[in-house]
Amino acid sequence: MNTRLISYPGCVIQVFLFVGFTVAEIALLTIMAYDRYVAICQPLHYERVMNRTACVQMATGAWIGSIVYSALHTGNTFRLPFCQSNVINQFFCEIPQLLKITCSDSYLSEVGFLAFSVFIGINCFVFMIVSYVQIFKAVLRIPSEQGRHKAFSTCLPHLTVVSLLLFTGFFEHLNPISTSASNPDLLVGVLYAVVPPMMNPIIYSMRNKEIKASLKKLIVWRLFTKN
């Protein structure tokens, strides 16, 4: 919108939505890792374990947990007084950047909150890694090449999304926060905040035969009309 200004309520809403959607995505990706594990490692029990009720309960728990967590995180951040500056060295309201402009020692509690968040994220990451180690062991024991290909094609989109989200997220938070904005800092912010959600529908849609057929028709039609 060609503006670098954001209101205080707008910043609060932006932080709340960003944290909420990020936590929800990590929670859902963790649930999906468990779903792949049951489907490939315990296929005879899949219908019983991953029934409709269980799926609804896990999805509901992920969204409710992410909303509550985001509300606590956002409230804990914006209860702090901001008096050093009104400039945020990022293209969106980011909690680490907001903590830099607070003038209260109470920000240490939010730092502890961030450390707890990283701890939870690492646990989710470890759970996914353990799940995929078991999945790959089971896939390599499948005798038919077609069965192995089907299992890998089921896991590949999820594994791609997980890797994209976690690696960009870790790179963002392990990157030292500079006192002034720089092109690498802004680029990392884009990789972390924009690229994963933008790539999600593309990655998952490429497994859909109807969408791939429609894309082929569209490309052929465009080439034909140009010629």
On whether residue 1 sits in a domain, the answer given is no
Contact 191, 171 (CB under 8 A): yes
The CATH number given to whatever domain includes residue 48 is 1.20.1070.10
On whether residue 71 sits in a domain, the answer given is yes
- pLDDT value at position 125? 84
Greater confidence (103 vs 29) lies with: 29
On whether residue 3 sits in a domain, the answer given is no
- pLDDT value at position 107? 61
When pLDDT is cut at 50, 70 and 90, the band that residue 106 belongs to is: low
**Tens digits of residue pLDDT in 125-170:** 889 888 888 888 888 887 777 777 777 777 777 888 888 777 777 6
What's the CA gap between 21 and 74, in Å, rounded?
13
* Closest to 181 in 3D by CA, of 94, 120, 107: 94
Tell me the residue range of the domain where 76 lies.
8-226
Average of per-residue pLDDT values in the chain: 81
Residue 171 has pLDDT above 60, yes or no: yes
Here the contacts of 125-134 (C-beta below 8 Å, separation 24 or greater) are: 125/166, 127/30, 127/33, 127/34, 128/29, 128/30, 128/33, 128/162, 131/33, 131/34, 131/36, 131/37, 132/33, 132/36, 132/159, 134/37, 134/41
On whether residue 29 sits in a domain, the answer given is yes
**Tens digits of residue pLDDT in 35-85:** 988 988 888 888 998 999 999 999 999 999 999 999 988 988 888 888 777
Phi-psi region of 104 (alpha: psi -120 to 50; beta: other; left: phi over 0): beta
Residue 178 has pLDDT above 70, yes or no: no
When pLDDT is cut at 50, 70 and 90, the band that residue 223 belongs to is: confident
Residue 188 has pLDDT above 70, yes or no: yes
On whether residue 201 sits in a domain, the answer given is yes
Domain count of the fold of the chain: 1
